[in-house]
Chain A
């Protein structure tokens, strides 16, 4: 059974651009969460979606948005990129919150 898959694995963007990151959860999992991890720190919670509805939001600006599709996959969108948005973006899925979350390998975003 496939784990959580994220795409792309790496990308480089310029300040001010927009980026879309994608996540496919484990089959049967209905909850998807997004995290930002800066080097040397633990992941910081951005969003949680369950059954296509936003269940939780972390302390991130409105430039960050997300959505979950009927097949439970998810997108994270970041507008007006800043240098400080450079990080590893992690997606995690779980059967239903708050049970244990399983992570993908992440998308490494570099903003130049």
Chain B
């Protein structure tokens, strides 16, 4: 079993839709959770960072963490064509010595 699982998609939605992206993990030692957006042939761009269960909101983005279920989500409201990219979840152990990424979900927002 992989440490971090993520539906690779591709996911296609109409402009203005609410997008839900999800990751599950198997190791309860993960304490820090991040979401990155990666455009083709570019480095990942940090979108959200959180370390506690619950919701964290930043503009159109909401990150949700449920440590008891080992499940994290990223919600994108009022999706735009510019949101079309690959979304990567990432997790860090309390020791902070490495970051584990999910395989990424490819998202297309259709105008």
Contacts and interface: CB of A to CB of B under 8 A. Distances in A.
Interface in B34-87: 34, 36, 41-46, 49
A58 B93 CA distance: 13
Chain B interface residue number, banded: 20 to 34
A56 B97 contact: yes
Interface in A39-60: 40-45, 48, 55-56, 58
Contacts of B46: 100-103
Interface in A17-68: 33, 35, 40-45, 48, 55-56, 58
Chain A interface residue number, banded: 20 to 34
Given A100-B46, A101-B46, A105-B42, A42 B101 contact: yes
Given A42-B102, A55-B96, A100-B49, 4 more contacts: A42-B101, A43-B88, A44-B101, A103-B45
Report the 4 A-B pairs with minimum CB-CB distance, sorted nearest first: A98-B96, A56-B97, A42-B101, A97-B96
